[in-house]
Amino acid sequence: LYLSSEEDIAYVTSVDAEERLIDFTNPDDNNWEGHVLVNEGWTWYADNKFNDKYGLITNNSAGESHVAISLTGGKNGLVEISYVISYENFGRGFAWVDESQDNTKQDLCKKVLHLCRMDKGNDATWRTEKRVECQRNVDGEEMVSILNGIWKAEASVQTVTLLREKLPHGQQKYLHVCLTPPDECQRGTENKFKLLSVRTF
């Protein structure tokens, strides 16, 4: 197993480091409500048949749903987003940290991400790009990360992404997440994204 230097800091050397967790999965803890300062199209609920898998969820065929979350930087300046990836009815989003709680990247949020490839005929090949794909630059936006909520395995599971941009210790800024419009390869009729938690450490 290969870990990047950021992943090594996050998951090996910083296990005991000070961290701040905003958890959307615990129905007995609504602490997250004080951190969500702008909410355009997101709802907190459980979306499974047993009504026990909670998250902050958006589902919008046009994309553009936006949320701004207040964060304070941890010791290592790292920001980790946990979310669901699935094979059907899920989409993709952008994430970045900003000093403003306003959506300063509205045009970017309207951009369709073409991260898949069509096979011959009408069947799509569902590919999760290399992890580095989720951390690439987006049209010169050096500090914007792609959150890819789609993969080919027929299961819905949790994944995490470390943001490109660091948030210095003690500094307060806003994490922005926006849903992008669906592309030609998304499976299903919905365009959903489910945030599970945000962690700074």
**Average pLDDT for 61-81:** 95
Contacts of 148 (CB under 8 A, 6+ apart): 85, 92, 115, 128, 129, 133, 134
Question: What pLDDT is attached to residue 1?
Answer: 53
More confident residue, 119 or 178: 178
**Full-model pTM:** 0.83
What is the average pLDDT value for the chain, to the nearest integer?
84
Question: What pLDDT is attached to residue 89?
Answer: 95
Place of tokens 């958890």: 23
Report whether 50 contacts 132 (CB < 8 A): no
Residue 6 has pLDDT above 60, yes or no: yes
pLDDT tens track for 14-37: 555 678 999 999 999 999 999 999
HSE toward the beta carbon, residue 43, CA cutoff 13 A: 7
Among 96, 118, 117, which residue's Cα sits nearest to residue 105?
A: 96
